[in-house]
Amino acid sequence: MTSHSFLAHNPATVWPVPEQFRSIYSHAAELRSAGRVLFISGQFGVRPDGSLAEGFETQCEQAMNNVEALLAAAEMNCGNTVKLTYCVTRPADFPSLGRIRRERWPSEAAPSVTALAVAGLARPEYLIEIEAVAAAQS
């Protein structure tokens, strides 16, 4: 299974991606071959036992664990991710999100990314939600 079944696009005709984000963000990701596509619903920092992790960083790590578990269930990994959407309830947490992403999910062909500051999520105690789309060759 290839981890890069897509091509990242960051042309000079669009604003340049800052160096510290190049391993975790692309303006566009193009699927070039027929294959499988996995759409992952928004994941929160909820552990497999149903408990909620405490604090932003711990919730973020758990939400990433959940995304990774769903990728694995489809015989994929983080390298198959072509689109990520992050919803964060506190804009002050964006620097932590960027740091955690660089540590856990860097990639030479980074996925396209949307990061939103939102007024709230499904429950008031949720601090982050991560939605993903992944692709792999059949």
CATH assignment at residue 26: 3.30.1330.40
**Residue 109 in this model has a pLDDT that exceeds 90:** no
Q: What is the pLDDT of residues 94-105, one digit of tens each?
A: 999 999 999 999
Packing angle, helices 94-104 and 56-73, rounded to 10: 40
Does 56 fall in a domain? yes
**Residue 33 in this model has a pLDDT that exceeds 90:** no
**Residue 130 in this model has a pLDDT that exceeds 80:** yes
Does 68 fall in a domain? yes
Residues 6+ apart with CB under 8 A from 38: 70, 71, 74, 76, 80, 132, 133, 134, 135, 136
Q: What is the pLDDT of residues 76-89, one digit of tens each?
A: 999 999 999 999 99
Does 1 fall in a domain? no
Q: How far is CA 76 from CA 6, 72, 104, 133, in A?
A: 14, 5, 16, 11
Given the structure tokens 């269930």, which residue do they identify? 73
Between 58 and 8, the higher pLDDT residue: 58
Give the domain range for residue 65: 6-137
pTM exceeding the 0.75 threshold for the entire prediction:
yes
Does 70 fall in a domain? yes
Helix (H) or strand (E) holding 137: strand 128-137
Does 120 fall in a domain? yes
Does 50 fall in a domain? yes
Lookup: tokens for 21: 């984000």
Distance between CA 33 and CA 50 in Å, rounded? 38
Q: Number of folded domains in the chain?
A: 1
